[in-house]
Structure 1
Amino acid sequence: WHLGDNYPLRPQDQGFQEVLVHGGGGVGQTPDFFGNDYFDDTYWHNGQVVKQKGYCTDVFFDAAMRFIDGKSKNGGGDKPFFCYIPTNAAHGPFLVADKYKKPYLDAGVPARRAAFYGMITNIDENVARLRKHLAASGLADNTLLIFTTDNGTAAGAGRGGGFNAGLRGTKGSEFDGGHRVPCFWHWPNGGMVGGRDVPHVTAHVDMLPTLSAICGLKPPTDRTIDGTSLVPLLKRNTRGWPARTLFVHSQRLEFPTKLRKCAVMTDRWRLVNGKQLFDLDADYGQKTNVAAEFPGVVKQLSQSYDKWWASIGTRFKDYVRIGLGHKSDNPALLTCHDWHTNNGPVPWNQNHIRSGLKANGFWAVSVTRSGKYRITLRTRPPGIDHPLAAATAKLVIGKTTREQAVAADATSVSFTVELKAGDSRLQTTLTPKTGKPRGAYFVQVEAL
């Protein structure tokens, strides 16, 4: 999911009725259930902590097929459904059963890449299981099945080996190897079957208008909807298809910076970081910069980028806020994964927690109701006792500041404060007798 672990950002807050999810952006990251390692993990099922059995990808596909069973005629249902399966694999750490990585190890593939390939093999196996399940349920012909990924390869290429289809760059790169991904559509009753490539440049923003058009839904009129319906391309009706210019950038900063790791894309051209121009018709691998030969193209694409940047720049200082005190997430557990640190270090995975990374930041929050709150500081999630290793603890939320001494063997410390509804910042500090202070990695906020 990776769009938030608290109200109003969780899947169940955003319209999903059936949810099975790990925390954060990958199994083993800070918001995830502590100690998960891909095998027999504990995930959140409709907001409740539930122990699972099996490998993570198998667990998610099994849950998806159970959900689909209730929608099929064979399962007593006959209603349209939307099922979204964003797998944890093939994300690091690269952990998978030996049987999946052994064929690659036997072929001489380095261990890290063999495990990565093994995770992909397991995904392939599960996609096959899903397709067979749809067929057995009588749903295959009238179900639109989309297979895509969120970025270029993370470990399947580079460092002198692997396969990347001739693309330059890997995950996080502004070159096509960082962001060009597969996107397969299959819907027999809709005329979408195998054997055809769509060469035009498209992007993730096209998903919403395309699915809306297919389902006969009217888009909202109170906001700008990015993207274009791909139905004409999917239906082989390319007459009148517009010449498009699309944009990608990889920021990973507190506030975005213009021309940072960006690409302006058309069917033929890529303008990278505002300086390098590549002609994909002649140079698919983006090896030769032809900016000096085509200054007019550079100017045109730069102007398009400037216009796009101006259109998105109005919200760069807005925060996506975590709701406190809402009945569906009370108490709320905040994790340091969501700190704002002005580009300082963030303990985003559980190994950072175990090593005691010294860092701090604030949470952007919104108090949903005025009243009394208990705010508890920890260095491990509730249920795991671990020393705070601090002499004093400090809490700042809005204009309220509290500080108290911490017992030598304390594993948590709590403050009771009155809060008014509205936007605020919450920050904690644990200060030892000697050494650097740090923030509390986990903070539980409960409306009393």
Structure 2
Amino acid sequence: MRFHLTIYLFSFLLTSVVVSSCKTKPEEKDTAETTNKPNIVLIFADDLGYGDLGVYGATEWKTPNLDQLAADGVRFTQFYVPHAVCSASRAALLTGTYANRLEIFGALDHIATHGLNPDETTIAEMLKANGYATGMVGKWHLGHLPTFLPTEQGFDSYYGLPYSNDMWPHHPEAKDYYPPLPLYRNTAVIDTLDDQSMLTTNYTEEAIKFIEKSKDEPFFLYLAHSMTHVPLFVSDKFKGKSEQGLYGDVMMEVDWSVGQVRKKLEDLGLAENTIIIFTSDNGPWLSYGGHAGLTGGLKEGKGTSWDGGIREPGIFVWPNHFPAGKIEKQAAMTIDILPTLAEITGSKLPELAIDGRSILPILEGKAIEPKPYFAYYNRNELQAVIYGKWKMVFPHTYRSIPEGTEMRNDGIPVKYQMLKLDNAELFDLSIDPNETSDVSDSNPEIVSKLIQFADEARADMGDALTESDGKGLRKHGRLE
């Protein structure tokens, strides 16, 4: 590691002087009995594909800990993120709200002067107000300036990177654009990274320390791994362990990390009263070839609203509450996590409107009425609506790997081509998960229903594709 802290410390000190947070602090932890409240561990991978776990079809590397996690709880086969890109996906996860409603788009970098609005309520703030200790380890990506860091968004502690691990001077397509990659503890830059091989290990150790520190009170741990986002790095203990190569090695180390967290919970006698959730922010970055994950046969990948870009593993475990070994086919989305945790813990929902709903009945093995879910991308384009087994994709332009392209396995991406979908298409995902056969003509009533849902979303959140202005939009946080 080389230390390049001067520019970061100067920027931090300067910004701290001229900017004060407008965050209204959550109320202090109440004095009510908290011993029966479940602990919550939310593990969020990066660019992990639907097919990257053994239980979801991976064969060239092993994920025994994640496979066991699935065996011990509920495994969704139709679990979605609403946005196939980093910052937007994370904003939606933590607020239970579509990120385009919050004016969070794309992937914020080191020159961004905005972030998640302090007026929004995160899962951490919601739980902190209900007596929870809150800690975050890993990739944040919702604003790197002091006003927007995790400790200003409800987390008692933070250790990790403020944005993606490829936003550094060694980026293969943007050399010298990014400054040294900063590693934070709370609000201070404690190092800059030239080598990321110990990142997953260090995240895991920090997560375990938080669990140990918080073992006597209910806690919420948000462990947001930087892997399997490129550039791929793995520690010596997993180097060369998979049949596939570096990506497989990295997946095995992420799996190991999950195992270490579970072991610590078991050793401390906390496993029975801890909810564990595992998912990822979007699908694999396919242009990186052998350094990208698997879609499990789904169409396209990261940066698209086809299912390869937005369908993710979704695993929920809570011993003696959620059925073990349950394969769940009902559709759900990451925006549902906040309201679900609110119902479980008896926490107060955010005052501002959210878009998710509690899926606790599904997790308890019950069927509930489907609801429409929307996939937004490319700032505010409504590209798809999902309703149960049905998915309608609207005309838009998307990226794809040109047919016949020779893929690489060295961390250098190939070039995308842009394709245009000229007409809306309807898919029955229960028999056509790869989105190959348009069934619009034979299902006019479904087409009409999904168009109605889309029109309602456009009136509420807007849609750049139809030049619609939404009435329910809110502003991101910005330095004035």
Of 127, 130, 133 in structure 1, the residue corresponding to residue 264 of structure 2 is: 133
Of 349, 372, 396 in structure 2, the residue corresponding to residue 245 of structure 1 is: 372
Letter of the 2:143 partner, please give it. G
Question: 1:353 aligns to what?
Answer: none
Q: Distance in 1 between matches of 2:430 and 2:204?
A: 39
Structure 1 residue 156 displacement after superposition? 10
Question: 1:404 aligns to what?
Answer: none
Structure 1 residue 12 displacement after superposition? 0.7
Question: 1:47 aligns to what?
Answer: 187
Q: Distance in 2 between matches of 1:235 and 1:157?
A: 39
Structure 1 residue 243 displacement after superposition? 2.5
Structure 1 residue 129 displacement after superposition? 0.9
Q: Distance in 2 between matches of 1:50 and 1:227?
A: 36
Question: 1:271 aligns to what?
Answer: 392
Equivalent pair of 1:156/1:163 in contact (CA under 8 Å): no
Structure 1 residue 35 displacement after superposition? 3.5
Letter of the 2:198 partner, please give it. Y
Letter of the 2:222 partner, please give it. Y
Equivalent pair of 2:247/2:293 in contact (CA under 8 Å): no
Of 225, 231, 252 in structure 1, the residue corresponding to residue 360 of structure 2 is: 231
Alignment of 1:253-264 (within 5 A): 253=379, 256-257=380-381, 259=382, 262-264=383-385
Equivalent pair of 1:23/1:29 in contact (CA under 8 Å): no
Does residue 200 of structure 1 match 2:330? Answer: yes
Q: Distance in 1 between matches of 2:309 and 2:374?
A: 13
Of 343, 349, 355 in structure 2, the residue corresponding to residue 213 of structure 1 is: 343
Of 285, 302, 306 in structure 1, the residue corresponding to residue 455 of structure 2 is: 306
Structure 1 residue 317 displacement after superposition? 8.3
Q: Deviations over 1:162-218 (max 9, x none)?
A: 7432211211221111111111111114x2253102211111110111000000113
Letter of the 2:268 partner, please give it. S
Equivalent pair of 1:154/1:170 in contact (CA under 8 Å): yes
Q: Distance in 2 between matches of 1:139 and 1:126?
A: 17
Equivalent pair of 1:244/1:266 in contact (CA under 8 Å): yes
Structure 1 unaligned regions, length at least 5: 37-41, 73-77, 323-364, 367-448
The answer to which of 82-91 and 272-281 deviates more is 272-281
The change in CA–CA distance for 1:93 and 1:315 in structure 2 (over 3 A counts) is farther
Q: State the identity as a percent.
A: 30
SS class of match (1:82): strand
Alignment of 1:9-28 (within 5 A): 9-26=148-165, 28=167
Letter of the 2:283 partner, please give it. G
SS class of match (1:133): helix
The change in CA–CA distance for 1:200 and 1:102 in structure 2 (over 3 A counts) is same
Does residue 62 of structure 1 match 2:200? Answer: no
Question: 2:319 aligns to what?
Answer: 188
Q: Deviations over 1:38-79 (max 9, x none)?
A: xxxx5110112224996111111111110110122xxxxx21
Letter of the 2:345 partner, please give it. C
Q: Distance in 2 between matches of 1:270 and 1:235?
A: 25
Equivalent pair of 2:331/2:370 in contact (CA under 8 Å): no
The change in CA–CA distance for 1:99 and 1:60 in structure 2 (over 3 A counts) is closer
The answer to which of 287-296 and 203-212 deviates more is 287-296
The change in CA–CA distance for 1:271 and 1:283 in structure 2 (over 3 A counts) is same
TM-score, normalising length: structure 1: 0.61
Q: Deviations over 1:312-344 (max 9, x none)?
A: 13379865243xxxxxxxxxxxxxxxxxxxxxx
Structure 1 residue 95 displacement after superposition? 2.7
The change in CA–CA distance for 1:287 and 1:307 in structure 2 (over 3 A counts) is same
SS class of match (2:260): helix
RMSD: 2.9
Letter of the 1:48 partner, please give it. A
SS class of match (1:182): strand
Q: Deviations over 1:59-102 (max 9, x none)?
A: 11111110110122xxxxx2100000111111112233466352
Question: 1:320 aligns to what?
Answer: 476
Letter of the 1:90 partner, please give it. T
Letter of the 1:4 partner, please give it. G
Equivalent pair of 1:148/1:182 in contact (CA under 8 Å): yes
Equivalent pair of 1:116/1:155 in contact (CA under 8 Å): no
Structure 1 residue 234 displacement after superposition? 1.1
- Which has the larger Rg? 1
Equivalent pair of 2:322/2:363 in contact (CA under 8 Å): yes
Q: Distance in 2 between matches of 1:93 and 1:315?
A: 40
Question: 2:253 aligns to what?
Answer: 122
Question: 1:288 aligns to what?
Answer: 437
The change in CA–CA distance for 1:162 and 1:69 in structure 2 (over 3 A counts) is closer
Of 144, 148, 159 in structure 2, the residue corresponding to residue 5 of structure 1 is: 144
The change in CA–CA distance for 1:125 and 1:155 in structure 2 (over 3 A counts) is farther
Question: 1:412 aligns to what?
Answer: none
Q: Distance in 2 between matches of 1:94 and 1:316?
A: 39
SS class of match (1:153): coil
Question: 1:145 aligns to what?
Answer: 276
Structure 1 residue 293 displacement after superposition? 2.4
Alignment of 1:73-92 (within 5 A): 78-92=216-230
TM-score, normalising length: structure 2: 0.57
Q: Distance in 1 between matches of 2:299 and 2:261?
A: 32
Equivalent pair of 1:117/1:156 in contact (CA under 8 Å): no
SS class of match (2:247): helix
Q: Deviations over 1:352-408 (max 9, x none)?
A: xxxxxxxxxxxxx32xxxxxxxxxxxxxxxxxxxxxxxxxxxxxxxxxxxxxxxxxx
The change in CA–CA distance for 1:226 and 1:304 in structure 2 (over 3 A counts) is same
Question: 2:128 aligns to what?
Answer: none
The change in CA–CA distance for 1:157 and 1:311 in structure 2 (over 3 A counts) is same
Q: Distance in 1 between matches of 2:178 and 2:211?
A: 26
Equivalent pair of 2:460/2:471 in contact (CA under 8 Å): no
Equivalent pair of 1:278/1:289 in contact (CA under 8 Å): yes
Q: Distance in 2 between matches of 1:143 and 1:16?
A: 18
